[in-house]
Amino acid sequence: MQSLLTPEQIALWQQLLPLDEGREEGKQQRIVITCHKGPDGDAIGSATALASWLRRLGKEATVVAPTIFPDFLKWIPGADQVLVYDKHEAEVQPVVEAADLIIMADHGELSRMAALGDVVAASTAPRIMIDHHLDPQQGIAQLVISHPELSSTCELVLRLIIELGQYEALTHDEAVSLYTGMMTDTGAFTYASSRPEIYQLISLLLAKGIDKDKIYRNVFFTYSPDRLRLMGYLLYVKLELDRKRHAAIMTFTNAERRRFRTLNGDTEGFVNLPLQILGMKLSIFLREDTERPLVRVSLRSVDDFPCNEMAAEFFGGGGHKNAAGGEVWGTMDQAVKRAKEAINKYAPLLRA
């Protein structure tokens, strides 16, 4: 596999995060690892694996998430130690302010951390960015390790660990975290996962004794009966198809959230369901935010349709070619109107 780090980056890494120092009691380097708001499997997986690895090297590493993450990810090793900034600002902010180094994992913009981004921006600690999203924000990290061509940040972290000569010491739990992120960010290896290197890396994780089948069950087979009923309802009642443009829109309101007693993470993966329809190229899932007057937008596509471009142009967001997201401030009706405008604008690509 091709090297991810230039000699200059390796030297800067050793300067910012020396791997051979920090074991002396009371002199550990204090590292805060952040992820993006609404953390997914790749965010939690990469952050917990990094924290565990750095603790083994004698660092004091803490993961801080801007907001809560789905219940189906709470089994990940180290997830129980993640600090959540939202609604716990008084306890968490001093931890960030005391950091000697901040690692931004799975995000390339301060705004992706919501209110936590302001705290990080105010910190004088140097930063390392480890991410695989397009167009990282310039000037916010001393060391930027950005590889959008990779499947996930967990793949990037694993390759960094290998490149820095740390694979042999990789633990079973760290391998579990990394595999989880690789799996979830590729839809269980159904997209963004055609490079042979991915499966070479999976074999290295399997060599650490992980049970990939159990990981899959932990993520995808842990939902409540209400979640299954909600899925059936949304597909039967709320799915709107535009067959001429090979696109689908599905909506989810807070009234429906209450009706079906929806838990955190219960709608995960719903955006992918319409893509099972023959010929469908684009799926848009719209769900009302529980606290603010906005609608969150998830987009998924197949083949070469650019979700990330649509998300940036119409929903103030971004992401990857086949998986992106954004938001619309306003009502659900306004969000649906906006989604239909986006479909009309991209109709030539959807019909192709």
Q: How large is the average pLDDT for residues 286-300?
A: 94
User: Over the range 241-270, which residues count as b (16 or more CB within 10 Å of their CB) and which as e?
Assistant: ebeebbbbbbbbeeebbeebebeebbbbbb
Those residues whose C-beta lies under 8 Å from the C-beta of residue 330, and which sit 6 or more positions away, are: 293, 294, 295
Q: Do domains 7-220 and 225-351 have the same CATH topology?
A: no
Confidence tier at 78 by pLDDT (50, 70, 90): very high
DSSP string for residues in 114-169 = THHHHHHHH--S-EEEEE-SSSPPTTS-SEEEE-TTSS-HHHHHHHHHHHTT-GGG
Please check the confidence at residue 277 and state whether its pLDDT lies above 80: yes
Please check the confidence at residue 27 and state whether its pLDDT lies above 70: no
Rounded to whole angstroms, how far apart are CA atoms 268 and 285? Answer: 10
Please check the confidence at residue 22 and state whether its pLDDT lies above 70: no
In a 3-state reduction of DSSP, which class is residue 24?
coil
- Domain extent listing, the chain: 7-220, 225-351
pLDDT of residue 291: 85
Those residues whose C-beta lies under 8 Å from the C-beta of residue 185, and which sit 6 or more positions away, are: 40, 41, 42, 151, 152, 153, 154, 192, 323
Phi first, then psi: give them for residue 287, nearest 5 degrees: -135, 135
Those residues whose C-beta lies under 8 Å from the C-beta of residue 278, and which sit 6 or more positions away, are: none
pLDDT of residue 191: 85
Q: How large is the average pLDDT for residues 4-30?
A: 83
Give pLDDT tens digits for 105-156.
999 999 999 999 999 999 999 999 999 998 899 999 999 999 999 999 999 9
The structure tokens 């909506």 sit at 251
pLDDT of residue 182: 98
* Contact yes or no for 125/103 (Cβ under 8 A): no
Q: How large is the average pLDDT for residues 263-269?
A: 87
Amino acid residing at 133: H
Q: CATH classification of 225-351, choosing from 3.10.310.30, 1.10.10.10, 3.10.129.10, 3.90.230.10?
A: 3.10.310.30
Q: How large is the average pLDDT for residues 305-317?
A: 95
* Contact yes or no for 143/12 (Cβ under 8 A): yes
Rounded to whole angstroms, how far apart are CA atoms 265 and 272? Answer: 14
Confidence tier at 24 by pLDDT (50, 70, 90): low
Segment (H or E) for 327: strand 323-329
Confidence tier at 89 by pLDDT (50, 70, 90): very high
Rounded to whole angstroms, how far apart are CA atoms 240 and 258? Answer: 22
Give pLDDT tens digits for 31-65.
999 999 989 999 999 999 999 999 999 999 999 99
Q: How large is the average pLDDT for residues 276-303?
A: 95
Amino acid residing at 154: C
Give pLDDT tens digits for 331-346.
999 999 999 999 999 9
Please check the confidence at residue 303 and state whether its pLDDT lies above 80: yes
Q: How large is the average pLDDT for residues 9-16?
A: 94
Q: Name the CATH topology of 7-220.
A: inorganic pyrophosphatase (n-terminal core) (3.90.1640)
pLDDT of residue 331: 97
* Contact yes or no for 128/17 (Cβ under 8 A): yes
